Amino acid sequence: MAVLGKIIKVNNERVNLRSGDVVGDVIIERDYLQLRTYAMGDLNRERGSKQNIQFTKEKAREFRDLLNEFLNK
């Protein structure tokens, strides 16, 4: 498991959007939250090409603050 160590807010780049659906799942344990995303089109999560992000509670709070900033714009 690789726990997210640092979140860097980048202000001078644009999000590169691609059309299509990506499936994600979330696992919540006592000390960690894990977000997994799968390849576009892998709606059944069968291809094994997942990307993982594990958050400690501290990093989850930091990310929550960034989400709130995004939601409040």
Per-residue pLDDT of 6-47, as tens digits, reads 999 999 999 888 787 778 889 999 999 999 888 767 666 677
d(CA 63, CA 69): 10
Cβ(55)–Cβ(4) below 8 Å: yes
Residues 47-72 as b or e (16 or more Cβ within 10 Å = b): eeeeeeebbeeebbebbeeeeeeeee
Q: Is residue 16 part of a domain?
A: no
Q: Is residue 55 part of a domain?
A: yes
As for how many domains the chain has, the answer is 1
Q: Is residue 53 part of a domain?
A: yes
| Integer angstrom CA distances of residue 33 from 18, 21, 47 | 26, 22, 22
At residue 49 the predicted structure's pLDDT band, cuts being 50, 70 and 90, is low
Q: Is residue 54 part of a domain?
A: yes
Helix (H, G, I), strand (E, B) or coil at 58: helix
What's the pLDDT at 51?
80
What's the pLDDT at 68?
97
Q: State pLDDT tens for residues 51-64.
A: 889 999 999 999 99
Instruction: Please state the pTM of the whole predicted model.
Output: 0.78
Q: Which domain holds residue 45?
A: 24-71
